[in-house]
Chains A and B, each alone.
Chain A
Amino acid sequence: MTADLPAAPEYAEPVVDWHRLDARMLVVRPLNELLGFVPVLVGLLVLGKGETWRALLSAGVIAAVVLLGLLRWVTTRYRITTEQVELRTGLFVRKRLAVPRDRVRTVDLTAKLGHRLFGLSAIRVGTGQRDQPGEEGLTLDAVSSAEAERLRVLLLALAAPERPGEPAAERPGLVLSTLDRKWLRYAPLTLSGLVAVGALAGLVTNYARELEVEVFGPLTDAAHWVVRQPLWLTLSLFAGGVLVIAGFGSVLVYVVQFWGYRLTREPDDTVRVRRGLLTTRSVSVAEQRLRGVEVVEPLLLRAGRGAHAKTVTTGLGRKGESNLLLPPAPVAEAHRVSAAVLRLDTSPTATPLRRHPAAALRRRLVRAIGPPLVLAGGAAWFAPAWAWQVALALTPLAVLLGWDRYRSLGHALTDRHLIARQGSVVRETVALQRTGIIGWRVSRSFFQRRSGLVTISATTAAGDGVYHVVDVAEADGLALADEAVPDLLRPFLEGGRPARAAGGSARAADRPDRV
């Protein structure tokens, strides 16, 4: 068919070799997958009462896993040209993935236990693309740790252009924060312990059934003994037990997740978070793509004056907390880290904030009190008397919640960032880079219009995609938006004098962060 066409001109593509993934992956992948199966396999082999078919089944499973690993290794190749990162994979369905190098925002190195035994790392390249959900960027699982480090530097080099003068590699990295053992006391204030207890209970029951082991005998006896005691003793024993286990669990989870936590600014202008006891992770974000930070204070953690911090950036998956900047730590540390990461002297997240008008308090209270009152009304109609009494007793708590939600509301503007805070159960303070704002949404519900309030939302390509300044006085909110991004809102505004916006954020009223 192509015979009578003129010969195509020589296409001089720079010759770049295709690389295979590291051959050690042949061992590591089955190992990693088998690590999860170990208890079951042991059970099948040891406690399987010598049935042959069970042993055969286990052997079959192992063989299949090894074979799959081999297939994947044989069919996967990658190369990095001057223009893009390319990945070819698949035997029956051939897939070819190419990511332009100037779109690389983040590089995420993950090494599970198996990887670490053999000195390997999986590498995930994050781009800013959000159009294809489920496309978690491009993953190479796995290459040797040295190769991973080489790729990390290489891929982020384009994202952060070389400064003139000295070569990047010769400037030393700067440590911004490392794990302090005292932070462990914040672990019980996260709910991860309770989650861990639940997961553990699920796992134990699951395997116990699988292995036909009677672990419940003594447990059941203990439970019976507890239940026979008076009600108050039963309740306090149960609560105490859960609390103790959850406390230990949460410390354990904290250590496993955050051991070796280290936040650095690398010589190539990337911010890098390293952490993990068993599975180690290293997430690098090109500083240019950092659009801000978020300080998060869940209620319990806030009561203990703690907080954790997240980056607001493009190109990070939502999975596995890859946007973590600081594990639960003192709130002062969270503010210090956010300032350091943003290269500022004073933390934007600790800026004194402007309170929102009293109408916002009214809205918070109505919203908080409404549900228990409606519940009480409904219960009075249908349920026994204690039900509506309980619902009514919740009302003071609801008032406190509403009051706290109002106290959390606040906004401010600094030279480079828009700061917005909201929430009570999870209080979030975001500092969003003003140049990272790519649009506004100004919404007024029926009741907001009657109270002269608006909710101003800044849309951005990073993080959650949109950050809200909730229930702000209309004129103040618009002045804020107008000042934050000059000339965007201006053509659509009327009334008011542009000058009044300037002194807006000066009148500050911040309270100490205590519940």
Chain B
Amino acid sequence: MDEVSTDQLRLRAPRHRVSRKSITLWTLHAVIGWAVLLAPQLAVLVFSRAPWQVGLAVATLVVGVAHALVMPRWRYRVHRWEATPEAVCTLAGWLNQEWRIAPVSRIQTVDTKRGPLQQLLGLSTVTVTTASAAGPVQIEGLDRDEAVRLADELTGTTQATPGDAT
């Protein structure tokens, strides 16, 4: 069902992968999320151990571990980005996937951002916004230097484009 025929028109994957360290980042995010969910359950188990409570905790643990193992690797295979002189294109997601394409001529701002975990791993997120409230294009998990280089490049080309980008 996946690739029907080579003749079909389809979107190709953008050229660049994100940093491999993103796998660690996504794993950490998943682990933290599931830990928040699991901790109170374990705390309850200290006092009472009804079968359904134990079952629920075990189920949470199993799903959490599976998610933390599968999701980051799947994401890493999907996530890609590309910046040409004309447009920025990203592909993101795992179960649900989404391409976002914004023409450079319509870019309004270019931000680089580093969360605490990202700082730890030396990663950055580049966010490109257009005049649309629904159209920010985010490239998560770039190496710090690469992010700075990309942001500079985009800012340069954006400034060279006339008009107010609406």
Contacts and interface: CB of A to CB of B under 8 A. Distances in A.
A439 B12 CA distance: 17
Contacts of A500: 9
Contact of B97 (A443, A459, A487): A443
Nearest to A443: B98
A441 B100 contact: yes
A489 B133 contact: no
Contact of A493 (B11, B95, B135): B11
Nearest to B11: A492
A489 B130 CA distance: 17
B10 A439 contact: no
Given A438-B103, A438-B132, A440-B101, A492 B12 contact: yes
A439 B135 contact: yes
Interface in B78-103: 82, 84, 86-87, 89, 93, 95-103
Interface in B6-40: 6-12, 14
A450 interface: yes
A209 interface: no
A191 to B, nearest CB: 27
A460 B99 CA distance: 16
Interface in A208-245: none
A446 B89 CA distance: 21
B99 A494 contact: no
A439 B103 contact: yes
A465 interface: yes
A118 B164 CA distance: 40
A185 interface: no
A498 to B, nearest CB: 9
Contacts of B2: 449
Interface residues of B, number: 37
B1 interface: yes
Nearest to B108: A131
Interface residues of A, number: 38
B166 interface: yes
Contact of B132 (A439, A446, A488): A439
Given A488-B103, A495-B6, A495-B7, A444 B96 contact: yes
A130 interface: yes
A452 B10 CA distance: 11
A103 B103 CA distance: 21
Contact of B10 (A446, A459, A493): A493
A442 interface: yes
Contact of B12 (A459, A487, A493): A493
Contacts of B133: 130, 465-466
Given A478-B9, A494-B10, A488 B135 contact: no
B95 A446 contact: yes
B102 A439 contact: yes
Contacts of A457: 134
A479 interface: yes
Given A445-B96, A488-B87, A438 B135 contact: yes
Interface in B27-57: none
B4 interface: yes
